[in-house]
Structure 1
Amino acid sequence: MNQLKRIQAIYKRVSCRAFQDKQVPQHILKEIITAGTRAPASGNMQPWEFLIIDDLDMKDKLCSCTFSGFYSKGAKNQSWVKKAPIIIVPCVNYKRTVARYGDLAYKWAVIDTASAVQNMLLAATELGIGSCWVGGIIEDKVRKLLQLPSYVEPLGLIPMGYPAEKTEQKHKIDPKWLTHHNIYNAPYFD
């Protein structure tokens, strides 16, 4: 019986929170961003924008826009973020998708941009770059700091760099507990 060949980047990807003091070459960063732009998008509107932050002062200010934990309300920053050589801020540009889909754009543009981020995380893994998608941000502070127009929304931060330590992938739920056959709670996998 033939074994199914696994897509290695999917199974090797982990959230990296410690980075070497080594810059990510521009050609590698461009490949990662390009992978993001290959994501599917509703009506091919491609609502994503990517801000690349490498200035030390800007990284420090961006870090002050983070919080740890859902209920901390900004009390604690995720200080490790500023130690990454690069921070990518993925943003949704609603203007493009609204032109075609009206109010549905506020749902689809986020999904499309999230797909682009996933492509970027997998491309980074394939290229030996560590990354982590950080959602704990104070959006209004990020928006003001980066001078984003009203129709552009930040979707977190992606600190990136060469990993400083080996990180193991955390346990993931077995698909048999998450899949249903024709109706809810009818098992598909044994």
Structure 2
Amino acid sequence: MDSSEFLIFLQDRASVREFRDFPLADDEIAYMLACARTAPTAGNLESWDLVLVTDPEQRAALAEAAHDQTQIVQAGAIFVVCSNYVRGMARFQERGILYALEDATIVCTYLMLAAHALHLQSCWTGSFDDEDVRTVLDLPPHLRPVALLAVGNGAKGGVSPERRPVDEHVHQDFW
């Protein structure tokens, strides 16, 4: 893939919030996890963990924790990406909390792009009650759920939203 193909690949990815309830194949999940494992991490500590949720009852409980967002119930799988503070803080003390959050968000991005490469659709869900997700998944206290990534076969294609021009974000040398 050359640079122009890569840009088109990125521009074609869009969030989808309506899924057909089909499970992901084992090889699709394995591919996505292999891609996630390649994500860069602070100090190479890999301060992230995830819970793969495919059980319909667990997806329904997560949807409730996510303020009844239906994509959580409909998608074939939910990748609950968590930051692992223990790993981050082992080397970086308090700053390791931030690094663990960054590690988790990078991993979630890699999972999203891996899904797109498989011609699957995804939706990054960040609006949820942390404690409810923690309870549903029985998460240990040193993990913080960062994102619920719904992945599956979209009921319809997504449309990438219009974006701000780059010059509204980038400042040269000074603000």
How high is the TM-score relative to the length of structure 1?
0.86
Give CA deviations for 1:138-166 in whole Å, capped at 9, x if unaligned.
00011111111110111121111011101
In the alignment, what sits opposite 1:5? 4
Query: Is residue 108–residue 147 contact of structure 2 (8 Å, CA) maintained in 1?
Result: no
Query: Is residue 32–residue 120 contact of structure 1 (8 Å, CA) maintained in 2?
Result: yes
Give CA deviations for 1:48-75 in whole Å, capped at 9, x if unaligned.
11111111111111111012xxxxxxxx
SS of the aligned residue for 2:23 comes to coil
Shift of 1:6: 3.8
Query: Is residue 48–residue 92 contact of structure 1 (8 Å, CA) maintained in 2?
Result: yes
Aligned residues: 173
SS of the aligned residue for 1:88 comes to strand
Matched residue type, 1:14: A
* Alpha-carbon separation, structure 2, partners of 1:86 and 1:124: 11
Q: What are structure 2's unaligned runs of at least 5 residues?
A: none
In the alignment, what sits opposite 1:70? none
Q: Which has the higher helix share?
A: 2
In the alignment, what sits opposite 1:74? none
Matches within 5 A, 1:14-93: 14-67=14-67, 77-93=68-84
Give CA deviations for 1:95-138 in whole Å, capped at 9, x if unaligned.
11111111111111101111111111111111111101100110
Work out the percentage of aligned pairs sharing the same amino acid: 24
Where in structure 1 do 4 or more consecutive aligned residues deviate above 4 Å?
A: none
Matches within 5 A, 1:149-164: 149-164=140-155
In the alignment, what sits opposite 2:170? 179
Q: Which has the higher strand share?
A: 2
* Alpha-carbon separation, structure 2, partners of 1:43 and 1:51: 23
How high is the TM-score relative to the length of structure 2?
0.93
* Larger Cα-atom Rg: 1
